[in-house]
Chains A and B, each alone.
Chain A
Amino acid sequence: MSALEIRNIQKRYGDVETLKGINIALESGEFLVLLGSSGCGKSTLLNIIAGLAEPSGGDILIGERSILGAHPKDRDIAMVFQSYALYPNMSVARNIGFGLEMRKVPTAEREKAVRDTAMLLQIENLLDRKPGQLSGGQRQRVAIGRALVRNPRVFLFDEPLSNLDAKLRMEMRTELKRLHQLLGTTVVYVTHDQIEAMTLATRIAVMRDGRIEQLGTPEEIYDRPATLYVAGFVGSPQMNILDAELTGSGLRIAGEEAFPLPETFRSAVTAGRRVKVGVRPEALRLASADVTGIRLPASIEVMELTGPELVTTARIGEQRITACLPPRTSLMPGSAQVFCFDEAALHLFDAENGRSLLAR
């Protein structure tokens, strides 16, 4: 039984189509991340699920029942906002318990629920404070507590970590993952941060211009991006995209020497077609005599040591390529090197429509 089903949801603001038919079905306990750049309609979709906005078409089902037209409070959802949206005049305890208070839960039961939730989030000592007296991370915990305490069927998060500094964001990310593993709740989580998406999600929906570009597990999204857009959006540094041409049964990257096209692509490709080649920076190595694979001669431009790896930028003809090499690699700017990568790491996209040419 799906916990949440989004059926062909559309949203129009005047003449502008913000959502163009979104379809997702979520099993209970799934952690769905809506990933996309600013303005692609993530918040709009979340607000429609929450009942804070009405769709122009389509349906939303929670536990097999349509909730369209139902008041937000009757949808069995809880929401965590980017701005935390804590009530500034209420204590932390009252903030967390407000939903229960409004639902007329008896005081004793409510206080116990608030205490338990605070314990889970390690904020028992903050219960008497006002939101103004909390740090960003503490406020975030309170906001999460306010959602947790009601034990709803679906949790909605709208970029909950984007107001935190980098270190705190990582901590809270781990915390969220811990909570999800512990409680097994169903989550819809909006972010434009691909690392958050990769680490938290059981499934990712990459959105673009009001459509779902690809829906899949983090592994699928990372290993088999369906389009150039997804390939470029997920992964850091970005996947290298190089112009290439097909020569009979061979592939010529950036005007270099052609190599035989790997088996997986043979059926999907016709000769003479313009294609784009994708290679993740972390799939590239420096070629030595004994390694096999596809070879790319390049001239080194810049090396940046990030600690765990040496991010190297190089030129191949007119194009740039980035490689993540082991940190102790010794290179000289301007020197000629040969990168190589396994056939399995090769991605091929149609140059016209950007779709992956991987035979499925």
Chain B
Amino acid sequence: MSGTWISTRAWLLMLPLLVVMIGVIGWPLVDTVRLSFTDAKLVGTTGSFVGVDNYERMLTGSSFQRALVTTTWFAVVSVAAEMVLGVLAALLLNQRFRGRTALRALMILPWALPTVVNATLWRLIYNPEYGALNAALTQLGLIDSYRSWLGEPGSALTALIIADCWKNFPLVALIALAALQAVPRDITAAALVDGAGPFNRFRFVIMPYLAGPLLVALVLRTIEAFKVFDIIWVMTRGGPANSTRTLSILVYQEAFSFQRAGAGASLALIVTLLVTVLAAAYAALLRRAAGAS
């Protein structure tokens, strides 16, 4: 039958990719699962089977719980701020004014920077001795003396969130701007004639067009924020006093700093599971949104 033939051909065509995928994702995953049930060290011993010991220790340990809270806080606050900032920026850039095109291009810059560059940039801004933030706040009279924004447990996470927002809100803005441009002009004109003010126009007329694309942005950004590693590693390495230690940082420390490959593997799998659950929840949400419209 032709149907069988087509599906056979489809599988044949996908085979090379499948082999590569199994090689670079499948096998390491399986090996990580194996590792997670051993007490293997990074070097020296290949470890012996210890059952669910690693999982039990991780899930009940305070490091994991604290990292989970830190990660969740980081993800929720930074993504929320990015969404709000992104939509506001998009609304602004959707207005007609001179220099709009230049500004649109400029806005993408933070997002186009490599994370490491962005992180270094913000480390300079936050620098306790010659940082621009300290200078600005002192000159405005908001603080009396220079502070170490990244060195104090009370402010480090917030400082990180700000840096992450600055980098990532352009993505949300870009997606929102594209969605805004898809709003038919007649519809906004009709809303004007109907007497809807700016807020009602946004809420009732524009928001329905934004909701779908924003949901996609939300999914992408939450999952990314939940896995955050590089910006934190460059700026604080999880410190001070572990106040910025997210799950990915913890995984790294377990596996590489403390050389506990087995424990690190179990933790990595837990994070993977959490992200998968998130992704699945969002997928369901997206399907429901698609069905509703």
A contact residues vs B (CB 8 Å cutoff)? 47, 50-52, 71-73, 77-79, 81-90, 98-99, 102-103, 132, 146
Are B187 and A87 in contact (CB-based, < 8 A)? yes
What chain A residues lie within 8 Å of B197 (beta carbons)? Answer: 102
What chain B residues lie within 8 Å of A47 (beta carbons)? Answer: 189
What chain A residues lie within 8 Å of B192 (beta carbons)? Answer: 51-52, 71-73
B196 at the interface (CB under 8 A from A): yes
Given contacts A85-B184, A87-B204, A89-B208, contact A102 B189 (CB under 8 A): no
Given contacts A87-B204, A89-B293, contact A73 B193 (CB under 8 A): yes
Are A77 and B196 in contact (CB-based, < 8 A)? no
B80 at the interface (CB under 8 A from A): no
B16 at the interface (CB under 8 A from A): no
- Interface residues of B: mostly helix, strand, loop or mixed? helix
Which of B186, B187, B194, B208 touches A102 (beta carbons < 8 Å)?
B194
What chain B residues lie within 8 Å of A146 (beta carbons)? Answer: 190, 194
Question: Considering the complex of A and B, which 9 residue pairs feature the smallest CB-CB distances, nearest first?
Answer: A73-B195, A85-B186, A89-B208, A99-B194, A85-B190, A102-B195, A81-B186, A72-B193, A72-B192
B200 at the interface (CB under 8 A from A): yes
How far is the CB of B184 from the nearest CB of chain A, in Å? 6
Closest A residue to B197 by beta carbon equals A102
A103 to B194: give the CA distance in the assembly, Å: 8
Are B204 and A83 in contact (CB-based, < 8 A)? no
How far is the CB of A353 from the nearest CB of chain B, in Å? 38
Are A77 and B208 in contact (CB-based, < 8 A)? no
Closest A residue to B195 by beta carbon equals A73
Closest B residue to A158 by beta carbon equals B186
A89 to B211: give the CA distance in the assembly, Å: 11
A71 to B189: give the CA distance in the assembly, Å: 12
Q: Pick 5 A–B contacts, CB within 8 A, sort by A.
A: A50-B193, A52-B189, A71-B192, A81-B186, A85-B187
A3 to B221: give the CA distance in the assembly, Å: 55
Greatest chain A CB density within 10 A among B186, B189, B194, B208 is at B194
| 11 further interface pairs, Cβ-Cβ under 8 Å (given A71-B192, A89-B204) | A50-B189, A73-B195, A77-B193, A81-B190, A85-B184, A85-B186, A85-B190, A86-B187, A88-B208, A99-B193, A99-B195
Closest A residue to B208 by beta carbon equals A89
B108 at the interface (CB under 8 A from A): no
B205 at the interface (CB under 8 A from A): yes
How many chain B residues have a CB neighbour from A under 8 Å? Answer: 17
Which residues of B (191-218) have their CB < 8 Å from a CB of A? Answer: 191-197, 200, 204-205, 208
What chain B residues lie within 8 Å of A103 (beta carbons)? Answer: 195
What chain B residues lie within 8 Å of A73 (beta carbons)? Answer: 192-195
What chain B residues lie within 8 Å of A79 (beta carbons)? Answer: 189-190, 193
What chain B residues lie within 8 Å of A102 (beta carbons)? Answer: 194-197, 200
Which residues of B (163-195) have their CB < 8 Å from a CB of A? Answer: 184, 186-187, 189-195
How far is the CB of A94 from the nearest CB of chain B, in Å? 9
A300 to B8: give the CA distance in the assembly, Å: 66
Are A90 and B204 in contact (CB-based, < 8 A)? yes
How far is the CB of B160 from the nearest CB of chain A, in Å? 37
Greatest chain A CB density within 10 A among B189, B191, B293 is at B189
A82 to B205: give the CA distance in the assembly, Å: 18
Closest B residue to A89 by beta carbon equals B208
Are B193 and A78 in contact (CB-based, < 8 A)? yes
Greatest chain B CB density within 10 A among A71, A73, A77, A103 is at A73
Which of B189, B195, B196, B204 touches A85 (beta carbons < 8 Å)?
B189
How far is the CB of A47 from the nearest CB of chain B, in Å? 8
A73 to B197: give the CA distance in the assembly, Å: 10
A103 to B200: give the CA distance in the assembly, Å: 12
What chain B residues lie within 8 Å of A50 (beta carbons)? Answer: 189, 193
A211 to B189: give the CA distance in the assembly, Å: 25
A35 to B208: give the CA distance in the assembly, Å: 36
Are B205 and A87 in contact (CB-based, < 8 A)? yes
What chain B residues lie within 8 Å of A84 (beta carbons)? Answer: 186
What chain A residues lie within 8 Å of B189 (beta carbons)? Answer: 47, 50, 52, 72, 79, 81, 85
How far is the CB of A244 from the nearest CB of chain B, in Å? 47
What chain A residues lie within 8 Å of B194 (beta carbons)? Answer: 73, 98-99, 102, 146
What chain A residues lie within 8 Å of B184 (beta carbons)? Answer: 83, 85
Are B196 and A98 in contact (CB-based, < 8 A)? yes
What chain B residues lie within 8 Å of A98 (beta carbons)? Answer: 191, 194, 196, 204
How far is the CB of A97 from the nearest CB of chain B, in Å? 10
A86 to B194: give the CA distance in the assembly, Å: 11
What chain B residues lie within 8 Å of A71 (beta carbons)? Answer: 192
How far is the CB of A281 from the nearest CB of chain B, in Å? 38
A111 to B193: give the CA distance in the assembly, Å: 20
A90 to B208: give the CA distance in the assembly, Å: 10
What chain B residues lie within 8 Å of A87 (beta carbons)? Answer: 187, 190-191, 204-205, 208
A72 to B197: give the CA distance in the assembly, Å: 11
A132 to B191: give the CA distance in the assembly, Å: 18
A77 to B192: give the CA distance in the assembly, Å: 11
A87 to B184: give the CA distance in the assembly, Å: 10
A51 to B194: give the CA distance in the assembly, Å: 12
A85 to B195: give the CA distance in the assembly, Å: 15
What chain A residues lie within 8 Å of B187 (beta carbons)? Answer: 85-87
